[in-house]
Amino acid sequence: GDSVTQTEGQVALSEEDFLTIHCNYSASGYPALFWYVQYPGEGPQFLFRASRDKEKGSSRGFEATYNKEATSFHLQKASVQESDSAVYYCALSDTDKVVFGTGTRLQVSP
Amino acid sequence: NAGVIQTPRHKVTGKGQEATLWCEPISGHSAVFWYRQTIVQGLEFLTYFRNQAPIDDSGMPKERFSAQMPNQSHSTLKIQSTQPQDSAVYLCASSRDRGNTLYFGAGTRLSVL
């Protein structure tokens, strides 16, 4: 079945550091790819999506580019802030069902 | 737009009791999804409905879990004979289109003592 792999379980950075969270997927079809962010006590929030190879999704300074050849959708941000501390989920949707990765907890120190 | 509303926010049950969780999707959204979230398993898909019809319940534990969507404004997840391992945050999400951007509620934290 379809799956999403996030290799980093936790990432610890200082403010203004560059962020990369890796996401690789496995799907039989041509899925849409998503990033969601979850803050404590809340449900995951949609961050952005991409549906085609080489398409870039972005929101709030975060971005990721759909790479069909590498089956990747890595999340990046040039300069993180303490308020970015949260759990980030990569997800895919190939049919109707949405499959999530295991999440990456980002902790940003001032 | 009030977003997806889940009630109650917290529910405590004794082992063997029944728990019913409620979800009100965003008005106009055609699909409703249920997920379970734990530290160990992360976000687990349970089931989903499209236009009130059950489409995929492959993630539902078969014996004690059931979900319904009697009308377009609410869905319920019922857990019979709750067990401590059912303790989790249960998340409901709705989606407007087949592109499946999900909008989540805040979740119901179920604690089974």
Nearest neighbour of A43 by CB, restricted to B48, B50, B106: B106
The per-residue b/e assignment along B70-94, b for 16 or more CB within 10 angstroms, e otherwise, is eeeebbebebeebeeebebbbbbbb
Shortest alpha-carbon distance between residue A11 and chain B (Å): 17
Shortest alpha-carbon distance between residue A86 and chain B (Å): 14
pLDDT tens profile B6-65? 999 999 999 999 999 999 999 999 899 999 999 888 899 999 999 999 999 999 998 899
> Do B25 and B32 contact (CB within 8 A), yes or no?
yes
Going by pLDDT thresholds of 50, 70 and 90, the confidence category of residue B1 is: low
Is the pLDDT confidence value at A96 over 90? Answer: no
Nearest neighbour of A89 by CB, restricted to B4, B43, B56: B43
Partners of residue B50 in chain A, C-beta under 8 Å? 96
Q: Do A49 and B99 touch (CB under 8 A)?
A: yes
